[in-house]
């Protein structure tokens, strides 16, 4: 494995001579559809935020191949500790975009019932996707802990931990790699090197020749791939997952990509990203690259492309309508899901909150009686 050479598979014209991804036509089209669905969901979330219907989102444009290529190498019974720029991970494994949209609106059908920020998804079905974490790097340690627990219990499971280039400067990253290397924990670390940690460029983030090389100090094999080439990402991740499942320990994969937008909807990238960089990476759009490969191999037609695009857009629009119509979480949700039996001091606070809501005329308080 190389920590400096950039591994790629798909050429500029979409060709990949002699390369066999080992996937059926249906699997290839599922990957492609997930890319389209990820972008459709992302685009809709930006529009919803800009129109004031939701409060926040995290642009995924440009990162889709890294997320989907990584996800495709794992089984559904593995565990996922993704970054907030990973819409494609859940969508690839069957998470309904409507359920993700409930989180964006923070309504009563949201799995966190409005307690989390938008984009902070968590699911136990159809996959174990552990709640997105805002504090940078904390989930990387959690992934190692879960992976080591699976190893100790003799369970055939691998954990995925995904993070941005800024995450490599966190304490969690270094602690996680150290323990994973020592324990040979079955975990795959995916670094989305998208060029900037909010507004901090790579050259101000690290003096290392790459992010991949950081794994070697901890005894963690590392590789650097083209993050916009879904085959290159998948190939590296398949090998890493196989190592982990065989008991040979963790792998660090640096996926070199670029976010074609801000760090979040609260950010204006035009203030710090040169226009020429956007123009350069626009020509390396990960969906366009994969499309060329599918057209080249005759796995995709223009008609099928149009059908899939329409299907994905309609699925996302349907999710928005359902999430919009869902009721807001009840006031009592502030006090649930923490204690088996509510402590007296929280009960008193709940009664005070409901009494105040009743006097102020809040419909959320029902008849004004604290229900717990």
Is 272 assigned a catalytic role? yes
So what CATH class is 25-325?
Answer: alpha beta
Rounded to whole angstroms, the Cα distance separating 329 from 343 reads 22
Give pLDDT, residue 249.
98
Catalytic residue among 39, 139, 259, 284: 259
Average pLDDT of span 3-27: 93
Look at strands 200-201 and 196-197 and give their pairing: antiparallel
Rounded to whole angstroms, the Cα distance separating 139 from 131 reads 9
Rounded to whole angstroms, the Cα distance separating 50 from 47 reads 5
Is 345 assigned a catalytic role? no
Give pLDDT, residue 364.
64
Residue 356 pLDDT exceeds 90: no
Rounded to whole angstroms, the Cα distance separating 231 from 226 reads 9
Q: What are the structure tokens assigned to 189, written together?
A: 């670390």
CB atoms < 10 A from the CB of 361, how many?
7
| DSSP conformation class of 123 | B
| Banded pLDDT at 314 (limits 50, 70, 90) | very high
Rounded to whole angstroms, the Cα distance separating 133 from 130 reads 9
Q: What are the structure tokens assigned to 231, written together?
A: 């085959």
SS3 185: coil
What percentage of the chain carries pLDDT values higher than 90? 90
| Banded pLDDT at 149 (limits 50, 70, 90) | very high
List for the chain the helix, strand, coil content (%; round to 5): 50, 10, 40
Question: What average pLDDT is seen over the chain?
Answer: 95
Q: Name the pTM for this structure.
A: 0.94
Rounded to whole angstroms, the Cα distance separating 213 from 220 reads 9
What are the angstrom distances between the C-alpha of 33 and each of 97, 208, 304? 13, 36, 10
Rounded to whole angstroms, the Cα distance separating 156 from 138 reads 24
Give pLDDT, residue 367.
63
Catalytic residue among 50, 272, 280, 321: 272
Give pLDDT, residue 5.
86
Q: Cα 313 vs. chain centroid, distance in angstroms? A: 20
pLDDT in tens, 22-71: 999 999 999 999 999 999 999 999 999 999 999 999 999 999 999 999 99
> CA angle, corner 33, sides to 27 and 35, nearest 5?
110
């Amino acid at each position: 494995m190389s920590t400096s050479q950039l591994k790629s598979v798909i050429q500029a014209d979409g060709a990949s001579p002699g390369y066999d991804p080992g996937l059926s036509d249906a699997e290839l089209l599922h990957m492609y559809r997930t890319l389209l669905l990820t972008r459709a969901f992302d685009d809709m979330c930006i529009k919803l935020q800009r129109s004031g219907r939701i409060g926040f989102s995290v642009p995924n444009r440009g990162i889709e191949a890294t997320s989907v290529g990584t996800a495709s190498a794992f089984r559904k019974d593995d565990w996922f500790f993704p970054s907030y720029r990973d819409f494609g991970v859940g969508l690839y494994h069957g998470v309904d975009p409507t359920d993700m949209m409930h989180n964006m609106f923070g309504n009563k059908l949201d799995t966190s019932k409005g307690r989390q920020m938008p984009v902070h998804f968590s699911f136990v079905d159809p996959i174990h996707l552990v709640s997105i974490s805002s504090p940078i790097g904390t989930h990387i340690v959690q992934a190692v802990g879960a992976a080591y627990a699976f190893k100790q219990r003799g369970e055939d499971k691998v954990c995925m931990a995904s993070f941005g280039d800024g995450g490599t400067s966190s304490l969690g990253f270094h602690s996680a790699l150290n323990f994973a290397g020592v324990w040979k924990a079955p975990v795959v670390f995916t670094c989305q090197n998208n060029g900037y940690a909010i507004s901090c460029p790579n050259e101000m983030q690290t003096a290392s020749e790459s992010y991949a090389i950081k794994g070697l100090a901890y005894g963690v094999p590392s590789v650097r791939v083209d993050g916009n080439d879904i085959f290159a990402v998948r190939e590296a991740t398949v090998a890493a997952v196989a190592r982990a499942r065989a008991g040979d320990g963790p792998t660090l994969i640096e996926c070199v990509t670029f976010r074609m937008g801000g760090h979040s909807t609260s950010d204006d990238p035009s203030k710090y990203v040169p226009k020429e960089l956007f123009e350069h990476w626009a020509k390396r759009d990960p969906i366009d690259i994969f499309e060329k490969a599918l057209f080249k191999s005759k796995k995709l037609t223009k008609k099928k492309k149009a059908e899939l695009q329409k299907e994905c857009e309609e699925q996302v629009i349907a999710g928005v309508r359902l999430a919009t119509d869902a009721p807001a979480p009840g006031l009592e949700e502030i006090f649930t899901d923490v204690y088996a039996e509510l402590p007296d001091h929280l009960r008193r606070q709940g009664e005070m909150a409901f009494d105040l809501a009743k006097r102020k005329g809040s419909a959320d308080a029902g008849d004004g009686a604290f229900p717990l």
